[in-house]
């Protein structure tokens, strides 16, 4: 079982299913409401744990009921919560999410206690990060915290997986410490200035990111699959075909499952295949953390669909 440290956010998702995503000034009636544990860091920690990883989570939550419930949920999934800090003067993070009939979503986040996950706290836990096989990061926490965590891991030889979401510019000094970068199309465009429209633009964007120092770039394309760029390969791997009902958290499930597979020392392409299967399962379920599948489910899904996502290292045309 590989050791994974996740440094990131924890939120409670307040979700409304609606016929269509409201436009500015529009009120949409007729939706169903539910709440679920969320936050990109927490989602990825849960997904990694259910995918077979030994997970330690570094996070901040408020001393409120939402924070208490979040920690209880982590414990149920076998996550080490020794370093989930409770803060008195800030509420736990909350995300408000609309999900339409096609499973697309629109999200607004109030970070709350997540903003209190500072670089000094991470420095105090350098030994925890250095002992991991994989460090998994996102951008719903202060960027200085992300930089410090990545530097600690890089210097210790720990593999760094960075999901650059929500989208924001990143320093090359950070990117040079990243083993695997997992942007979606929007994030890849922001980081490179290249509009993603076809395989040629995917090749160009991934090349730019690799030239900035990233070892491997995985551009996630939703239902179209994942574009994988390494030193030797540029490959578009198709997605598993499923009927989605809620895409909330699918990217987080992908990253968590990816980290779990990589922590075992697995091949990158096989890790992408495993993570794509986990994400495909997740979009057929409601919610972020509730949708994350377990290790046995993912393996069974892959075995049943061996012909739908063959791993082929075919060089993309530059």
Residue 134, C-beta contacts closer than 8 angstroms, at least 6 positions apart: 2, 3, 4, 5, 53, 158, 159, 160, 161, 259, 262, 263
Average pLDDT (185-212) is 96
Task: Tell me the residue length of the chain.
Answer: 318
Check pLDDT > 90 for residue 311.
no
Q: Which of 80, 92, 149 is nearest to 116 (CA)?
A: 92
Check pLDDT > 90 for residue 95.
no
Output the CA torsion sign for 299, 301, 306, 308: negative
Structure confidence by residue, pLDDT tens digits, 148-169: 999 999 999 999 999 999 999 9
The set of catalytic residues is 252
Q: What's the rounded Cα separation, in Å, for the pair 136 and 16?
A: 29
Structure confidence by residue, pLDDT tens digits, 24-81: 999 998 778 988 888 999 999 999 999 999 999 999 999 999 999 999 999 999 999 9
pLDDT, position 104 = 84
Class for the domain spanning 3-23+32-304: alpha beta
Domain locations along the chain: 3-23+32-304
Structure confidence by residue, pLDDT tens digits, 253-262: 999 999 999 9
Output the CA torsion sign for 38, 5, 113, 107: negative
Q: What's the rounded Cα separation, in Å, for the pair 95 and 108?
A: 6
pLDDT, position 306 = 65
Report phi then psi at 54, rounded to 5: -95, 105
The DSSP result for the chain, as a single string, is --EEEEE---EEEEEEE-SSPPPTT------EEEEEEE-HHHHHHHHHHHTT-EEEEEEEEESSHHHHHHHHHHHHTT-B-TTEEEESSSPPEEEEEEE-TTS-EEEEEE-GGGGG--HHHHHHTHHHHHT-SEEEE-SSS-HHHHHHHHHHHHHHT-EEEE---S-----HHHHTT-SEE--BHHHHHHHHS----SHHHHHHHHHHHHHTT-SEEEEE-GGG-EEEE-SS-EEEEPPPP---S--TTHHHHHHHHHHHHHHTT--HHHHHHHHHHHHHHHTTSSSSGGGPPPHHHHHHHHHHTTTTS----PPPP-
pTM of the predicted model over 0.85: yes
Contact 214, 181 (CB under 8 A): yes
Q: How confident is the model at residue 318 (pLDDT cuts 50, 70, 90)?
A: very low
Q: How confident is the model at residue 313 (pLDDT cuts 50, 70, 90)?
A: very low
Pick the residue with more confidence: 1 or 107?
107
The overall average pLDDT reported for the chain is 92
pLDDT, position 245 = 87
CB count within 10 Å of CB 175 equals 20
In DSSP terms, 135 is beta-bridged to 5, 160
Check pLDDT > 80 for residue 315.
no
CA distances from 186 to 170, 213, 223, 243 (A): 14, 20, 15, 23
Average pLDDT (1-22) is 93
Pick the residue with more confidence: 252 or 223?
252
pLDDT, position 34 = 86
Q: Which of 49, 60, 62, 58 is nearest to 1 (CA)?
A: 49
Pick the residue with more confidence: 290 or 207?
207
Check pLDDT > 60 for residue 124.
yes
Check pLDDT > 50 for residue 310.
no
Contact 292, 43 (CB under 8 A): yes
Q: What's the rounded Cα separation, in Å, for the pair 207 and 166?
A: 21
Q: How confident is the model at residue 15 (pLDDT cuts 50, 70, 90)?
A: confident
Q: Which of 304, 316, 312 is nearest to 280 (CA)?
A: 304
């Amino acid at each position: 079982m590989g050791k994974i440290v996740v440094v990131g956010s924890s939120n409670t998702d307040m979700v409304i299913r609606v016929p269509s995503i409201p436009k500015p000034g529009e009120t949409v009636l007729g939706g169903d409401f539910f709440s679920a544990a969320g936050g990109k860091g927490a989602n990825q920690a849960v997904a990694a744990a259910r995918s077979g990883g030994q997970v330690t989570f570094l996070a901040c939550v408020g001393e409120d009921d939402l924070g208490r419930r979040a920690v209880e949920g982590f414990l149920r999934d076998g996550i080490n919560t020794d370093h989930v800090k409770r803060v008195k003067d800030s509420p736990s993070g909350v995300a408000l999410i609309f999900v339409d009939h096609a499973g697309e979503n629109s999200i607004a986040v109030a970070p709350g206690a997540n903003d209190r996950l500072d670089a000094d706290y991470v420095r105090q836990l350098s030994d925890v990060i250095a002992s991991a096989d994989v460090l998994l990061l996102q951008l719903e926490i202060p960027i200085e915290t992300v930089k410090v965590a990545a530097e600690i891991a890089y210097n210790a030889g720990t593999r760094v997986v960075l999901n650059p979401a929500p989208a924001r510019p990143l320093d090359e000094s950070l990117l040079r410490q990243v083993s695997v970068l997992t942007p979606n199309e929007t994030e890849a465009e922001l980081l490179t200035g290249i509009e993603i429209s076809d395989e040629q633009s995917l090749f160009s964007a991934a090349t730019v990111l690799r030239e900035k120092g990233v070892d491997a770039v995985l551009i996630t394309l939703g239902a179209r699959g994942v574009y994988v760029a390494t030193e030797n390969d540029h490959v578009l791997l198709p997605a598993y075909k499923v009927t989605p009902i809620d895409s909330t958290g699918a990217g987080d499930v992908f990253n968590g499952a990816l980290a779990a597979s990589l922590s075992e020392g697995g091949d990158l392409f096989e890790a992408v295949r495993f993570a794509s299967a986990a994400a495909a399962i997740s979009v057929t379920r409601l919610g972020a953390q509730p949708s994350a599948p377990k290790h046995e489910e993912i393996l069974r899904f892959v075995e049943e669909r061996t012909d739908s996502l063959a791993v082929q290292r075919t060089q993309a045309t530059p």
